[in-house]
Amino acid sequence: MKTLEGIFNPIEKDIEQLNDRLMNQISPDSHSLCSILQNIFAAGGKRLRPALSFLMFRALAETRNAIYPEAEAKLFLIAEIAELIHTASLVHDDIIDNSLVRRGAPTTNSKWSNAITVISGDFMFARAAVNLARIDINKVVEIFASVLENLCSGEIRQVEQKYNADISFDYYYLKTYNKTASLFEACTFALTELFPLTDTEKRAIANYGKFIGMAFQIIDDILDFTSDEESLGKPAGADIREGQINLPLLFAFETLKQINPDKCAYMKERIQQIPSEKDNLKIQKTIDDSIRIIEETAGIERSYEKAIEYVKEAVKGLSFLPESKYKNSLVELADFVIKRSN
């Protein structure tokens, strides 16, 4: 498997320029927001979402002329919007989840008050809105404004349904689209306003982002069970502890319900009781038992199959693109999303 660095090689300069722009959101003499934002962006991140925009744009530009003479400038604004929205949503999410560490570094809410942290997130959303206005294409505004709606409804669903072990697969896929895949989709969909394309081509481009996003989140769910604290920054099964019923567990319940309905109902009940359970050992036992059931019912394997289905669909849609190093990277990225370990 190629490293992310290798996959991003054709757009190395683009990512560098993006990082400079992210680090210079506001002038240093303005106020403490400047150092807070620099702190956030210096903490790193894979820059996966902007990379999708850069690679797809450059793959399209190989054989097509952009509609606007300033399409490059619009591309950078799109890439910046994607990373601003993503980062702002994580900054807010860390307050909601009361998380003190992200990507191995202290979160904003662990260093500043919740009030300051909320405002910093709001500032990034506001900056994204300014950039959207500067792109000056109504459809692109609609695409990213819809992402904000989706993020909020995905997050509300997640908060409301915490510890509800009876959620359906449909519910899971909708929440996953709202919370994760809709932003990935926007990163490629927005570009379709910059080139002359047929409706089928536009859908394939949007779907590439969407399906990569779905697979990305499913792999995140899998890693929560298979990874250790060192590589992921949190212990295995942390999602269950936090009340997130994710795909491997849903598959496990589906199978267990058929072979042992009583055990399935009992397991769901134990998960539902986690928030009122004071005894940490009992909680850990519930998590360990859930992981064992997932192993016994091939919950991880079935989730992998689902993620692989998504990336295969994503890559299939790229067939209309001419061969190029950018297209190769888009294909390799699909492989990376499946095989990544953190």
Instruction: Give contact residues for ligand FPP (rule: CB under 6 A).
Output: 89-90, 92-93, 96-97, 125, 148, 151-152, 155, 179-180
| Residue 335 interacts with, from ligand FPP, Mg ion, none (CB under 5-8 Å by kind) | none
93 binds Mg ion (CB under 5 A): yes
State the minimum distance, in angstroms, from the CB of residue 323 to ligand FPP.
34
| Residue 152 interacts with, from Mg ion, ligand FPP, none (CB under 5-8 Å by kind) | ligand FPP
State the minimum distance, in angstroms, from the CB of residue 152 to ligand FPP.
5
State the minimum distance, in angstroms, from the CB of residue 96 to ligand FPP.
6
State the minimum distance, in angstroms, from the CB of residue 306 to ligand FPP.
18
Contacts of 266 (CB under 8 A, 6+ apart): none
155 binds Mg ion (CB under 5 A): no
Under DSSP, the state recorded for 177 is I
Phi, psi for 102 (deg, rounded to 5): -140, 140
Measuring CA to CA, how many Å separate 50 from each of 39, 87, 174?
Answer: 19, 12, 23
Choose between 97 and 301: whose C-beta lies nearer to Mg ion: 97
State the minimum distance, in angstroms, from the CB of residue 96 to Mg ion.
7
Choose between 103 and 134: whose C-beta lies nearer to Mg ion: 103
Instruction: Give the span between the Cα atoms of 180 and 14, in whole angstroms.
Output: 23
State the minimum distance, in angstroms, from the CB of residue 189 to ligand FPP.
18
The per-residue DSSP string of 216-281 comes to HHHHHHHHHHHS-HHHHSS-TTHHHHTT---HHHHHHHHHHHHH-HHHHHHHHHHHHTGGG---HH
Choose between 306 and 327: whose C-beta lies nearer to ligand FPP: 306
C-beta of residue 211 within 8 angstroms of C-beta of residue 185:
no
Residue 331 buriedness (CB in 10 A; 0-12 / 13-18 / 19+): middle
Region near Mg ion per CB under 5 A, out of 10-18, 95-103, 218-226, 333-341: 95-103
Choose between 93 and 185: whose C-beta lies nearer to Mg ion: 93
Cβ burial 39-72 (10 Å sphere, 16+ → b, else e): ebbeeebebbbbbbbbbbbbbbbeeeebeeeebe
| Residue 77 interacts with, from Mg ion, ligand FPP, none (CB under 5-8 Å by kind) | none
97 binds Mg ion (CB under 5 A): yes
CA geometry: angle 272, 224, 340, nearest 5 deg = 155
220 binds Mg ion (CB under 5 A): no
Applying CB under 5 A, the residues found at the interface with Mg ion are 93, 97
